[in-house]
A and B are shown apart, each in its own frame.
Chain A
Amino acid sequence: NAGVMQNPRHLVRRRGQEARLRCSPMKGHSHVYWYRQLPEEGLKFMVYLQKENIIDESGMPKERFSAEFPKEGPSILRIQQVVRGDSAAYFCASSAQGGDEQYFGPGTRLTVT
């Protein structure tokens, strides 16, 4: 039973470029969450999505960040015009229902140079 998959695992972008992070939830899960973790810090909620719907984006910066979870295909977290402060580990998690335990993917480590 495949777990949550994320790609790429490592991503290097120059300032001003775009970063696209992908997440495929665990089989049977339709709820997806994105979290950001800065080095030596805890996990910060960004956004909660179900298929084709954003349920809660209260943790998402207002500018440059967007997320989607289309009917077909993985969930995408998109960061436009990246800055050095965007360097972090971005984790995706999924659950069968909202409020259930969340299972995390391996993360994408974004480095902005």
Chain B
Amino acid sequence: QQPVQSPQAVILREGEDAVINCSSSKALYSVHWYRQKHGEAPVFLMILLKGGEQKGHEKISASFNEKKQQSSLYLTASQLSYSGTYFCGTLAGGTSYGKLTFGQGTILTVHP
């Protein structure tokens, strides 16, 4: 079952903040965040592992609530380059360590 992302779309002005949420009904091993611009490949942003370990870009922060199987991506002081579609991908227990199941995406638009 695919994770659910919210909101579906966000419109910001440069410098504003946003939070994107990802929720799963399954017990998760990890959550992966990606940004995709139109016509391009998804770009890795962050991975959050069960147990607290995380790695990713310095300017990106995220959280993973293991009890609730929820993750949030925090975008602060947004820039025009942040525009794109954000996907969370989840690795659930009981599946292979490669099968990322992606949410439906959150479209972020940053205006000058």
**Interface residues, chain A, with chain B CB atoms under 8 Å away:** 31, 33, 35, 41-45, 48, 55-56, 58-59, 91, 95, 97-107
Q: Is the CB of B102 within 8 A of A98?
A: no
Q: Is the CB of B97 within 8 A of A45?
A: no
Partner of A95, one of B40, B43, B98: B98
Q: Is the CB of B95 within 8 A of A56?
A: yes
* Most chain A CB neighbours (cut-off 10 Å) among B95, B96, B105: B96
A12 to B6, CA, bound (A): 36
**Interface residues, chain B, with chain A CB atoms under 8 Å away:** 2, 29-30, 32, 34, 40-44, 47, 55-56, 87, 89, 91, 95-105
A56 to B96, CA, bound (A): 7
Known contacts A42-B2, A43-B42, A91-B42; is-contact A102 B96 (Cβ 8 Å): no
Q: Is the CB of B41 within 8 A of A43?
A: no
A107 to B42, CA, bound (A): 10
Partner of B44, one of A43, A55, A56, A103: A103
| 13 A–B pairs (Cβ distance < 8 Å), ordered by A | A42-B103, A48-B99, A55-B96, A59-B99, A91-B42, A98-B98, A101-B32, A101-B55, A101-B56, A102-B44, A104-B43, A105-B41, A107-B41
CB proximity of A73 to chain B, nearest CB, Å: 20
CB proximity of B50 to chain A, nearest CB, Å: 10
For residue B97, which residues in chain A have a CB less than 8 angstroms away from its CB? 97-99
Partner of A48, one of B29, B32, B98: B98
For residue B105, which residues in chain A have a CB less than 8 angstroms away from its CB? 42
Which residue of chain B has the shortest Cβ distance to A49 in the bound complex? B98
For residue B55, which residues in chain A have a CB less than 8 angstroms away from its CB? 101
Q: Is the CB of A42 within 8 A of B87?
A: yes
* Most chain A CB neighbours (cut-off 10 Å) among B29, B55, B95, B102: B102
Given contacts A45-B99, A101-B32, A101-B56, could you give 17 more A-B pairs where the C-beta distance is less than 8 Å? A33-B98, A33-B100, A35-B102, A42-B104, A43-B42, A43-B87, A43-B89, A45-B100, A55-B96, A56-B99, A91-B42, A95-B98, A98-B97, A102-B32, A102-B98, A103-B44, A104-B43
